[in-house]
Amino acid sequence: MSANTSGQPKRTPLAAEHEALGARMVDFAGWWMPVQYRGLKEEHLSCRSGVGLFDVSHMGEFRVRGPKSLETLQWITTNDVSKLAAGEVHYSLFPNADGGIVDDLIVYCVKPGEEYLLCVNAANIDKDFAFVCANNRGADVGNESSDWGQIAVQGPKALELLGRLFPGAQAMKSFTHKSFAFAGGTMIVARTGYTGEDGAEVFVPAALTVNLWRELLTKGKDLGAEPIGLGARDTLRTEMKYSLYGHEIDDTTNPYEAGLGWVVKPQAKDFIGKSKIVAVKDAGLSRKLIGFELSDRGIPRQGYKLLSPSGAEIGVCTSGTMSPVTGASIGIGYVTSEFAADGTEIAVDIRGKAAKAKVRPTPFIKK
């Protein structure tokens, strides 16, 4: 990946490919990224029905090695890394000392107790690496972010396409990873994703990213494979109520409030901020992250106030969109716990107008 010079956004190995395909490009978290190609709705529905290709090369990758690798990861993440066998993957959080979230991440076990790969959010690479180094308990830690490209292959036909390039990938189980030879290099195929669809995320040596991208488009043509921009990536994850750092979670968010208690394992181990994180849960959650659907016109956006039926402020919207699948206006946000039950009537302050909405079960679409 090219260095960030003269204040210009960094370019992934695929930046020129996106430009050649006519993508509308934007500066996203300091990266020059495609926001859409032929249209957000069309790309969204294409991923839900066929196969979508996402450039996620801007994400960060850290390697954690050595006899102290497990001890370090147990201390700096909330999930129980000791449960991971070779080739297994889990979702986790970096907690801070105040009981908030430094970032969310994926942990890939290469060799139990000896080697792990971490994937972190693009906007947080420098912050996260500083956090890992500051709290390291003797592991050999390296930032490999510039060494890797990454392509997410998502959709109901994704595994069929992956099997054409990586024989055996179709048989992989969710939340596992495996290495495959391709174009003279070694790829890491991980059965993970951020869309709610089947598929995988492929870590590819930076110099081979274009080769893989073009091969996926070519081999997947009959499956409807097409590139998908950041716009549809966001609407896809919103339909699933997946948290995005800087929206649903940040340095002040308690994991239990965000509905992420399933990746917090206080009974299994000690970790940074454990007592403060657990204390919030034990005291009874004052707010909860919910999904809601509008019955009035309008689209909820991050920062819009959420109101009780009487007009009292009860929370805030963290993400919102018009669902391309259902056609409904949907949102995610925090409300005081008394308004968090499914079916509860609330309202959204949209430019001074209280638009009626209702808390509803999530994800917003059936998978």
Dist CA 333 CA 243 (whole Å): 10
Count other Cβ atoms within 10 Å, centred on residue 270.
9
Q: 3-state class of 137 per DSSP? A: coil
What is the domain partition of the chain in residue ranges? Answer: 10-56+146-239, 286-360
Dist CA 41 CA 12 (whole Å): 24
Evaluate whether 96 touches 251 at the Cβ level (below 8 Å). Answer: yes
* pLDDT averaged per 10 residues, the chain (length 367): 65 98 96 97 98 98 98 98 98 98 98 98 97 98 98 98 96 98 97 97 98 98 97 98 98 98 98 98 98 97 98 98 98 98 98 97 93
Q: Domain 10-56+146-239: which topology?
A: Gyrase A; domain 2 (3.30.1360)
Residue 123 C-beta-side C-alpha neighbours within 13 Å: 12
The pLDDT assigned to 367 comes to: 74
The pLDDT assigned to 72 comes to: 98
Q: Which residue is listed with tokens 């959709």?
A: 155
The CATH number, out of the four listed (3.40.605.10, 3.40.50.1220, 2.40.30.110, 3.40.50.12780), of the domain defined by the range 286-360: 2.40.30.110
The pLDDT assigned to 222 comes to: 97
Residues 6+ apart with CB under 8 A from 109: 81, 84, 85, 86, 87, 88, 89, 115, 116
The pLDDT assigned to 2 comes to: 44
The pLDDT assigned to 295 comes to: 97
